[in-house]
Structure 1
Amino acid sequence: MASSAEGVLPGRLAHGYWRAHEWGLSDNACLKLIHQVLETGIQCFDHAACYGDFRNEAEFGRALALEPALRERLYLVSKCGILFPNDELPHIQSHYYDNSRAHIIWSAERSIEKLQCGYLDLLLIHRPSPCAHPEEIAAAFDDLHCRGLVRHFGVSNYSAQKFSMLQSWLDQPLVTNQIEISPLQPAPFDDGSLDYLLEKRLRPMAWSPLGGGALFKPQNERSTRVAQALFAHGETYGENRLDTLVYAWLLAHPAGIMPIVGSGRLERIENASAALNIPFSEQEWLSVYTAAQGKPLP
């Protein structure tokens, strides 16, 4: 197995571009946002080939092309493997996953071209295909790494067992697993996902850390309980921004979770950054966890 990848991810937060096509930003406005994100201390920018029907990376790339020297201040992440019908790539006729050597290489090269970035700091397999051959993935990673196109590799939405299996075939260390983690999606705290990463000294990235916005407009008793538990903790610190409290709760976990902030609004990004100043004791953390579980600790 390759050497440890501990410490590869920069900082504690990432900025995500899943919904960037909805932000309505011009190239200059996108460049301004990149600078503003950097000013909050966030260096990691999370993309995927398929975001925005395979168009979002090009939008970011046009902004970056306005100031190419900015590239060296950015840690750029992309993901590959999810395919579905879209106007940008009309040859794709169905929804499926492609974890083949040829596709991984093609997708990474395309992402680099669209982002106009020269190389990727991190490439993730977006979702595991049930029939993926790990030897194909290993060959693709070898090719991209040897040519200097991708510096680090990881996965997304993998179980601990699938992560371990794939790593056994690779010469490069997998540096992270990007999974859904939030107060409303606490399964990774109990299903072995975070335990495995803690064992390997690897940090997870968390997509949808705000639970898809469900906490902001609670639709059920569970969402209401969790929001109330978070607000109760916030009173101690004079903090009433719910998103800030959610990020603080995730950041407090010993796995070193890196939440992905998926908003184009500077206010929301600054709210996430403010979470770095709000601690949770184990007792306080568990009060939110038990609210999500709907039952007391055994």
Structure 2
Amino acid sequence: MNHLLSPIVAGAWRMASWNLTPQQRLRWIEQNLELGITSFDHADIYGGYQVEQQFGEALALAPALRHELQLVTKCGIKLVSPARPGHRFHCYDTSAAHVRASVDNSLRALRSDHIDLLLIHRPDALMDAAELADTFAALRREGKVHHFGVSNFTPSQLELLHHRCPLVTNQLELSPLRLDALHDGTLDQCQRLGLRPMIWSPLAGGRIFTGEDEAARRVRHALQALADELGTTITTLVFAWLLRHPSRPLPVIGSQRIEASREAVAALDLKLTAEQWYRIWTAGAGHEVP
């Protein structure tokens, strides 16, 4: 995983709502590449099954770029959608048939002959780990998918699948307003297994900037004070806080604004002290360490 993905990942979750032309989407891809963000995070369901298609349309305008970037996508959630008329109920599905169909759909939409990293999007109570591991192995042999991981899995759920098929990441939620993964064994497991976690919603879906609840105001105040001391921005500081963890996280920045990507990349050069890191943790937790 060390060289599989760029240290900051561009998230395309909201691309369908950006209302960009294919050329504008291509420029967004190019600008991220110019910043050293070479990995792009997708899921088949994003934008009601439209985002992968939109990204693929943009990439088709400059197909040589495919060799400069890594495509991450997810499957395993079935939405009831006009784009998937065979889906009759919102549920999870990690059967061989569904995973294979999802991969083929993603490859067509993304205009690519392979996916660099495929994740199971959510834990499926009916997941047959042995069957899924066999499916992964077949997809790798066929050259359709190069690496595999999971998203939002608990340590025991990851262990069940990792035992049968080596995984490279667990994509999970973590921010100064969502500290669970620091203390529930998820990041401990990542360190133990040498998996670099991917981090979604590092800015708490914008709540860090606009939330009016007590926790959001408390975190925002602490971040602004420390950002002023360090001569940086809140966005850069939050990404530096994430990157400080020894599991070596790979945060996903899901913004149309290239300035936000630039601020995230700036965090690679900002190393927080333990005291600075715990100032932010304390604001998020609402209390000092015991």
* TM-score of Structure 1 vs Structure 2, range by shorter chain: over 0.9
What SS class does the counterpart of residue 168 from structure 2 fall into?
strand
Matched, 1:265 2:260: no
Aligned partners of 1:156 and 1:245: how far apart in 2? 25
Cα distance in 1, alignment partners of residues 155 and 125 from structure 2? 15
User: Is the counterpart of residue 217 in structure 1 residue 187 in structure 2?
Assistant: no
8 Å contact 1:53–1:88 — kept in the other structure? yes
One-letter amino acid of the counterpart of residue 117, structure 2? L
Deviation at 1:64, TM superposition (A): 0.7
How far 1:10 moved relative to its partner? 2.3
Structure 2 distance, partners of 1:168, 1:108, is: 23
1:253-296 superposed Cα distances (whole Å, 9 cap, x missing partner):
11111111101111111121122222210111011111111111
How far apart are 1:8 and its partner, in Å? 4.5
SS of corresponding position for 2:272: coil
CA RMSD of aligned residues (A): 1.1
Deviations 1:135-194 (A, max 9, x none): 221121011101001000000010111111111122xx2000000111111100000000
The 2-side partners of 1:75 and 1:145 are apart by 16
Q: For 1:265 and 1:22, locate their aligned partners in 2 and report how far apart those are by CA, in whole Å.
A: 13
Residue in structure 2 matched with residue 108 of structure 1 by the alignment: 103
Amino acid in the other structure paired with 1:35? E
1:252 corresponds to 2:244: yes
The match for 1:22 among 17, 27, 40 is 17
Q: Output the amino acid matched with 1:105.
A: R
SS at match of 1:214: helix
**Alpha-carbon separation, structure 2, partners of 1:68 and 1:260:** 24
Give TM-score, length-normalised by structure 2: 0.97
Correspondence 1:108-187 to 2 at 5 A = 108-170=103-165, 173-187=166-180
User: Secondary structure of the equivalent of 1:140?
Assistant: helix
Taking structure 1 as the reference length, what is the TM-score of the superposition?
A: 0.95
Who is 1:238 aligned against? 231
- Ranges of 4+ aligned residues in structure 1 off by more than 6 Å: none
Aligned length: 290
Contact 1:237 1:278 in 2 (8 A): no
- The CA distance in 1 between the partners of 2:259 and 2:159, in whole Å, is 39
Q: Secondary structure at the match of 1:25?
A: coil
Q: Which residue of 1 aligns with 2:197?
A: 204
Identical positions, percent = 42
Instruction: Tell me what 1:71 maps to.
Output: 66
Structure 2, gaps ≥5 residues long: none
Helix, strand or coil at the partner of 1:259: strand
- 1:99–1:128 Cα contact (<8 Å) kept: no
Q: Match of 1:195?
A: 188
Equivalent residue, structure 2, for 1:3: none
Q: Distance in 2 between matches of 1:224 and 1:294?
A: 11
1:56 is matched with 51
SS at 1:273's partner residue? helix
